[in-house]
Amino acid sequence: MSLWYTVQFGVSYYTIYCVPWLGWDLVEPVTYSISQGSAILGLLYMYRHRGVGTEFTQLNEYWLERRQRKWLAKYGFDLNRLAFLREKLDRLNNEIKSSELQRFA
């Protein structure tokens, strides 16, 4: 969205100040409409994904879970097995860290 608004600002600036036949009176309604449309699309996206928070980490987790569900549907991937293996990997990493701390202490 930041890139979208930056491009919109650049195009608006160029058309207002550099194109002789376009002025603020013609460009302002277009930029207003585009901004309102973008806000409405953002609201529709948030309403569609109501249970998801608006922070980046929450959206990222949601997209990851959605992608995992697609993998499950397409390839029959076992998500419970993946969770088990991740937990086991975390336990092993913690054991390695604790043993390294004991070794070098």
Split at pLDDT 50, 70, 90, the class of 50 is confident
Distance CA 31, CA 39 (A): 12
DSSP 8-state code for residue 55: S
Distance CA 96, CA 13 (A): 57
Distance CA 5, CA 74 (A): 36
The structure's pTM equals 0.44
pLDDT in tens, 59-75: 888 888 888 888 888 88
With a pLDDT cut of 70, the percent of the chain lying above it is 97
Q: Please give the tally of structural domains in the chain.
A: 2
Domain identity same for 100 and 65: yes
Domain identity same for 2 and 42: yes
Domain identity same for 40 and 63: no
